[in-house]
Structure 1
Amino acid sequence: MNTQLIVVIVILLVIVIAFYVVSTIMRKKNQERLEELEDRREALLDLPVEDEIDEVKKMHLVGQSQNTFREWNQKWTDISKSSIGDLETQIYEIENENDLFRFMKAKHSLDTAEAQMGYMEGEVDSIREGLRSLRESEERNSLAVQEALDVYEDLKTRLNEEKASYGAAAPEMEKHLVNIEIEFTQFVTLNTTGDPVEARKVLNQAEEDTFELKNKMDRIPPLVLELTDTFPSQVEELEKGHQQLLEQKYIFAEKDIEARLFHIKGQIEDSKKSLEQTDLDMVEEVNRNIDEEVNFIYDIFEREIDSHKYVKANTAQVMNYIEHAKKNNRQLLIELDHTSQSYTLNHNELGRARGYQTEIDTLERNYKLMLPKLEEKQMVYSQAREFYEDSYKVLDDIESEQLQILSDVKELRKGEKEAQKKVDDFEFKLRNIKRYVEKQRLPGLPADYLEFFFVASDRVEELAGELNKIRINMDEIEKLSKFSSDDIEILQEKTDELIDSAALAEQMMQYANRYRHNNPMIAQAIDHSLQLFTKEYRYKDALDEIGSSLNKVEPGAFERIEKFYFSHRELA
């Protein structure tokens, strides 16, 4: 019994101790969560939300911005006045439950309180973000309004201080400024009386009108300057310049200069009327046209003044160039006449030279017709300049072609000398070939070889005959010279082939004699080769006949003898 009692007591003690330990741990854990929850509540209350609300409130928001602000403000009021108070009550109740060892209920209440705390923190973050967005948006709007007001004030000051710069458009600009001022005043009134929607519409219109007016006022002064100063000054200068040039006996191809100047004056007046109505697109278009017309007339005057200087400086030069070309052409014709007695002129040189003379005579005639008009100042200087420039070009081309013809004529004499040297060279080569063939003491020569030799010789004789004519044709001589050169080159190749074939055939037959008595095929080949060699003069065929037969008896003999021959050929 004592033992059982002790066991029961020990078990009870363990249970009590375990309960105490668990209770202590749970109570401590709940207490830590309570303290953390309290810290979060205090941190939420410490946020400067009230200050941020007051800051936005001072901006005097209107319209949708004001409605949005009221929503955020109401949410903060609900949280700060109601939700946080409810949370504080919950925290107090949880502390009591924890102290009374009602740990599970305290834990459940803590879960609920923490969830509520998280929700409030999220809401406060949204409120602060919304307030920040409102503040930044309103600041941007305020800057835009202030910018428009600054622009308006600047435009007003500019118009007052620089009224002359706006010319006939100034009254219309003043009307626009008055209208914009009325719009800004109306905006302030509507905003103050609580009609934010209409106030925003009026403000938007005021801003749009302000920047539109700025655009116009930026564009107007340069246009006014053109219409009141630049163009009138230019027209006056052009009128005076035109009169002075006429007094100096200038003549213009354009007969409507006065009419153009009168038209420009009318355009200036039309542009001023458009400016008065602030139709700036029309003013800019007309001013561009005026500027183009003015520059066109300036270009005419500048062209004629420059042309006058050019004509004055080049009148004598053109005549000198014409005389120079005439002299050169006379010399060219004399040279061609002299040359044509000795050479055939194949490229119409005389006809071309006579054509140059016709061109030169035409230029001289036109020059002499024009000169009195220039002296009496009855001609447009730019037209005279054009004639001079064209004359220079024609004379330059003529001189270039004259020089080319002279160069070609000199080449005829040079070509004749070269052709004569070639004839001597061809004849020398033919004699050498003939002596070389005779030296070989061949039984005879093939008919085709002799025929080609005589063709080459006849061609050289024909070339020599052409060169000995009283009037030679260098085109024909060059052609014959080319043919002769080709013929002799081919003849030399044929001669070498003929002599080599004959010499090799003899050597092959001599070498083959060692097989003659004991090889009927070789004996027959030697006899046939001798027939081809001594009777028919077909040395190449004789070589092929004996060479192929010898190779059958002694393979490689043909190539060995041929190689030995060509390596010692110069000694032969």
Structure 2
Amino acid sequence: MEIIIGILTIAIIFVTFSYFSRKKIYKEIDRLEEWKMDITNKPVTEELSRVKHLNMTGQTEELFENWRNKWDDILTRQLPDIEELLFDTEECTDKYKFKRANQTLHFIDEKLEEIEEQIKQIYSELQELIGSQTKSVEKFAIMDEKYKEFKKQLLTQRHQYGLSIQTLEKELESLVEKFQAYEEATENGNYLEARDIVARLEEDFTEIQYKIEEIPNLLIDCQSVIPSQLAEIQSGSEEMLGEGYVLDHLELDKGVSGLEEKVKELLTLLKEAKVKEVTEVITGVKEELEGLYDKMEQEVLAKHFIMKEMEPTKEELDILMNEAAATKEETEVVQESYQLQDEDIATQKSLDKSIQTLYDRYVTLTNQLDEQSLAYTILKEELEDILEQIISLKELSSQHTTKLQALRKDELIARDQLYQLRKLLLNAKRSIEKSNIPGLPQQYVEQLTTSHLQLKAVSEQLEAKPLNMVAVNLVLREAVEMIESCSVSINELLEQAALSEKLIQYGNRYRSKNLEVHTKLLDAEQHFRNYEYANALEIAGTTLEKVEPGILRSLDAVEPESKNE
């Protein structure tokens, strides 16, 4: 029974698979059959008939025959072969040869795709031929009009083209052969060749049009504008020489001669209608001309600058020299009271020397100007440098004067600091006297003594003649550090002494009750009498904290009570 069920199951699966496979294959056969019919019905023949209005000779005839043969081959061989293959596929399907049927269908699909590409190529080549013929006719008509227009322009405006007219006419006439070649290619049905001829004609017309448009202006530049500018430069340079200008360094004659030669070369190139070469060269010529004009203008501007600035510069120099003399005098006065640094003395000498050198340069410049031996641009550079040096030396002189004046200011500041230090030290001594402590430890006595000596050293430096502020500031810095440190140390010591005394006095209330407290306070008193206030504070504080915790924090609150006792 199980075998029968298995056989039936296999049979059902086979029948189901066969059914769906055949259905799928027949559907694909129908699709390909429809595709084949679409290709058969394509209006290729009608499209090919579009070329019949052209001259059916040469390239056109050859292309037409090629397209028609391709289409005939598709209709009479390729599509019937596909029909045969479709029939074979149906037979394979009926016989359950599904694999072979699918392979054949895939092959048919590729063949139909190839046929579609062949038809697309026919349409493309056909459109190219017809389109090129149409465009060529339009472009040829335009160029024919241009030819007539250019020929008329060269005839009626010959004077604008000078010697280049012959070259232009020859170039224009050379196009006649290409016109004839185009017409011959068209008559022979060689429309693609005609298209290429038209493309070359377009390039030729563009080049000729460019020349016809540019040559008149270039001739004006070479025959009129540039020569007149060169003559203007020559006459201008002669006029400037008469006014005392020195122009040898500009080499104007050499520049003008060189440009005149270039203009001759340009005219030769224009005769040959070599417009691009002329345009490139003439740009350089105009730049050189501009350079010559600019050089001459710079000389004129330099002269104006010199005429305008010479007298003000002399006035500035006089002011600078007067200021330098005043600074030198002030330096000598300051040297009587203060000891100047080597660099300050060197600065004064350098200022004197630099100002004298600058004045000598100005005198030399004045002589050169009177002698007219140098170009104004060179003299202008020298004058500009002198003006810059005046500004620089004025700044240096001002800084030097400020530094001299600062010495007196520094002295006053130092004396004020000395006064403040004396006051600080005096306050420290008064605090010691008011504290009623039994005495000072030796190290504090030495600190006070050293501080007094340091103040004396500062005072002696301030009274020295000449006054050396570098030395003053040095000993003053040392005095500030020492006395401020001494003041802080003494204040700390007095605070320790005062607090330890308060603790001992406060602890008296526990002496009769606590022997240990009594003993420790005696020890603290001994340290206090020996000027060991820190030790006294530590012993008294530690002892009282044991019997009354927080006593150190609350001591300020019991101070009135302690004083009453």
Q: TM-score, normalized by length of structure 1?
A: 0.72
Deviation at 1:394, TM superposition (A): 0.7
Amino acid at match of 2:374: M
Amino acid at match of 1:417: L
Question: Are the aligned partners of 1:419 and 1:478 in contact in 2 as well (CA < 8 Å)?
Answer: yes
Residues 270 and 534 from structure 1, CA distance in 2 versus in 1: closer, same or farther, beyond 3 angstroms? Answer: same
User: Separation in 2 of the partners of 1:246 and 1:354?
Assistant: 44
Question: Are the aligned partners of 2:338 and 2:467 in contact in 1 as well (CA < 8 Å)?
Answer: yes
Question: Are the aligned partners of 1:504 and 1:565 in contact in 2 as well (CA < 8 Å)?
Answer: no
Question: Are the aligned partners of 1:151 and 1:214 in contact in 2 as well (CA < 8 Å)?
Answer: no
**Residue of structure 1 in register with 2:532 after alignment:** 538
User: Separation in 2 of the partners of 1:566 and 1:279?
Assistant: 118
**Residue of structure 1 in register with 2:467 after alignment:** 472
**Residue of structure 2 in register with 1:501 after alignment:** 496
- Give per-residue Cα distances to partners, 1:59-81, cap 9 Å, x unaligned: 7798767776788899999xxxx
Residues 129 and 243 from structure 1, CA distance in 2 versus in 1: closer, same or farther, beyond 3 angstroms? Answer: closer
**Residue of structure 1 in register with 2:452 after alignment:** 457
Question: Are the aligned partners of 2:269 and 2:277 in contact in 1 as well (CA < 8 Å)?
Answer: yes
Residues 137 and 521 from structure 1, CA distance in 2 versus in 1: closer, same or farther, beyond 3 angstroms? Answer: farther
Structure 2 counterparts to residues 285-296 of structure 1, below 5 A: 285-296=280-291
Give secondary structure in 1 for the equivalent of 2:401. Answer: helix
User: Separation in 2 of the partners of 1:367 and 1:223?
Assistant: 51
Deviation at 1:565, TM superposition (A): 9.0
User: Separation in 2 of the partners of 1:567 and 1:378?
Assistant: 101
Q: Please, which of 351, 357, 361 is the counterpart of residue 356 of structure 1?
A: 351
**Residue of structure 1 in register with 2:111 after alignment:** none
1:251 is the counterpart of 2:246: yes
Which 10-residue stretch deviates more, 235-244 or 125-134?
125-134
1:345 is the counterpart of 2:340: yes
Amino acid at match of 1:546: A
Deviation at 1:131, TM superposition (A): 7.6
| Count of matched residue pairs | 484
Residues 242 and 498 from structure 1, CA distance in 2 versus in 1: closer, same or farther, beyond 3 angstroms? Answer: same
Question: Are the aligned partners of 2:56 and 2:189 in contact in 1 as well (CA < 8 Å)?
Answer: no
User: Separation in 1 of the partners of 2:326 and 2:483?
Assistant: 42
Question: Are the aligned partners of 1:340 and 1:471 in contact in 2 as well (CA < 8 Å)?
Answer: yes
Give ranges in structure 2 of 5+ residues lacking alignment. 1-40, 73-115
Structure 2 counterparts to residues 378-397 of structure 1, below 5 A: 378-397=373-392
1:400 is the counterpart of 2:395: yes
Residues 529 and 191 from structure 1, CA distance in 2 versus in 1: closer, same or farther, beyond 3 angstroms? Answer: same
Amino acid at match of 2:390: L
Residues 460 and 62 from structure 1, CA distance in 2 versus in 1: closer, same or farther, beyond 3 angstroms? Answer: farther
Question: Are the aligned partners of 1:456 and 1:484 in contact in 2 as well (CA < 8 Å)?
Answer: yes
**Residue of structure 2 in register with 1:12 after alignment:** none
Q: Please, which of 332, 344, 347 is the counterpart of residue 327 of structure 2?
A: 332
User: Separation in 2 of the partners of 1:273 and 1:432?
Assistant: 107
User: Separation in 2 of the partners of 1:448 and 1:565?
Assistant: 33
Deviation at 1:219, TM superposition (A): 4.8
Amino acid at match of 1:410: Q
Aligned-residue Cα RMSD (Å) equals: 4.0
Q: Please, which of 408, 412, 423 is the counterpart of residue 428 of structure 1?
A: 423
User: Separation in 2 of the partners of 1:565 and 1:235?
Assistant: 112
Deviation at 1:346, TM superposition (A): 2.1
Residues 461 and 72 from structure 1, CA distance in 2 versus in 1: closer, same or farther, beyond 3 angstroms? Answer: same
User: Separation in 2 of the partners of 1:567 and 1:205?
Assistant: 124
Give ranges in structure 1 of 5+ residues lacking alignment. 1-43, 78-121
**Residue of structure 2 in register with 1:177 after alignment:** 172
Q: Please, which of 297, 300, 304 is the counterpart of residue 305 of structure 1?
A: 300
**Residue of structure 1 in register with 2:108 after alignment:** none
**Residue of structure 2 in register with 1:374 after alignment:** 369
Deviation at 1:163, TM superposition (A): 4.2
Residues 355 and 479 from structure 1, CA distance in 2 versus in 1: closer, same or farther, beyond 3 angstroms? Answer: same
Q: Please, which of 202, 210, 221 is the counterpart of residue 205 of structure 2?
A: 210
User: Separation in 1 of the partners of 2:337 and 2:481?
Assistant: 27
User: Separation in 1 of the partners of 2:173 and 2:550?
Assistant: 124
- Give per-residue Cα distances to partners, 1:94-149, cap 9 Å, x unaligned: xxxxxxxxxxxxxxxxxxxxxxxxxxxx99x9899998787666555555545555
Q: TM-score, normalized by length of structure 2?
A: 0.73
Residues 270 and 520 from structure 1, CA distance in 2 versus in 1: closer, same or farther, beyond 3 angstroms? Answer: farther
Question: Are the aligned partners of 1:69 and 1:134 in contact in 2 as well (CA < 8 Å)?
Answer: no
**Residue of structure 1 in register with 2:182 after alignment:** 187
Give secondary structure in 1 for the equivalent of 2:249. Answer: coil
Deviation at 1:187, TM superposition (A): 0.3
Residues 61 and 355 from structure 1, CA distance in 2 versus in 1: closer, same or farther, beyond 3 angstroms? Answer: farther
Residues 444 and 380 from structure 1, CA distance in 2 versus in 1: closer, same or farther, beyond 3 angstroms? Answer: same
Question: Are the aligned partners of 1:62 and 1:191 in contact in 2 as well (CA < 8 Å)?
Answer: no
Deviation at 1:436, TM superposition (A): 1.0
User: Separation in 2 of the partners of 1:278 and 1:269?
Assistant: 14
Give secondary structure in 2 for the equivalent of 1:254. Answer: helix
Deviation at 1:289, TM superposition (A): 3.0
Q: Work out the percentage of aligned pairs sharing the same amino acid.
A: 24
Amino acid at match of 1:405: H
Residues 364 and 565 from structure 1, CA distance in 2 versus in 1: closer, same or farther, beyond 3 angstroms? Answer: farther
Structure 2 counterparts to residues 63-82 of structure 1, below 5 A: none
